[in-house]
Amino acid sequence: MKFPKSAWHWAASVLLSLLLAGCISIGGGPSPQFREVLLEGEGRDKFLMIDIDGPIFNTPLLVPNVGVVPGMTARVRQELELAFNDPSIRGILLRINSPGGTLTDSDIIFHSLMEFKKSKNIKIVASMGDIAASGGLYVAMAADEIYAHPTTITGSIGVMMPHLNYSGLFRKLGIKSDPVTSGRFKDIGSPYKPTDPMERAILQKLVMEQHKKFLEVIKIGRPKMTMAQIRGMADGRIFSAQEAHKKGLIDGVGYLDDAYRRLAEIAGFPVNRLVRYANIWRTGNNIYSNTFPIELFGN
């Protein structure tokens, strides 16, 4: 299995504001190399922590005069590529704190984790933070077991296609949209006109097909649940960690440390090191640390 080379995820606005304010100076020189950071533990065998932190998109962020922070999908694939070539990686601790994102990027990350797990014959345990809803829950379904923090909000199983209708405002302003199209439905979803029943039926069909895909992924991740049980909670509602556990959507309620210990148990490597891949931007080296990765210009 070969994962395309790429790099890291979206940037924190705090550091961006510091950069733009001139509080941080970055000179020239070679691009920083990814490196392994020890979070805790000892021994030869390692577990890799991967973060799904923030909206699940693959849109890169340009930091003027500094570099590019690649999208989350690219960053996760980069981490999996590095881990695939390391024979001492014995499992993944998937830390999720995300309200969701695009269905496509969520599905790519889910698929990448599933392929990695199958190819390496390893275990994945997911730990949910503040929120792991919609696409965050979708990605969690790649884990063998899922645990949520006592205050986690999860659920939001469903698909939404946003649509704005400015036609009423345009009428008040005396503005009329008059597009020239090659077919009846070429301007379907246009915000400049109301959606007629036939157009809505087409869009609704697309949404329900994507919703079906979401349900199938939940079934993969929660094989003991019936499809009827999954459909019963798939109306977009959100759940507390305790309710999600009661419904069988997750395996337990606990802290990140508990999920790490559980990974060691089910993977069969009680003596291990927990690591993550980092660049030069770091906020610590413990189990709750995050990374601010960036590609400098000139890569």
Write out the H or E segment, with its range, that includes residue 53.
Answer: strand 46-53
Which entry of 134, 156, 190, 193 is annotated as an active-site residue? 134
Query: Distance between CA atoms of 57 and 109, rounded to whole angstroms?
Result: 10
Which entry of 5, 186, 205, 212 is annotated as an active-site residue? 186
Contact 199, 185 (CB under 8 A): yes
At residue 46, what is the residue type?
K
User: Quick check: is 134 catalytic?
Assistant: yes
CA atoms within 13 A on the CB side of 204: 7
User: Quick check: is 31 catalytic?
Assistant: no
Beta bridge partners of 94: 50, 126
Contacts 24+ apart (CB under 8 A), 179-183: none
Contact 7, 74 (CB under 8 A): yes
Query: Distance between CA atoms of 136 and 129, rounded to whole angstroms?
Result: 10
- Kindly list the catalytic residues: 134, 186
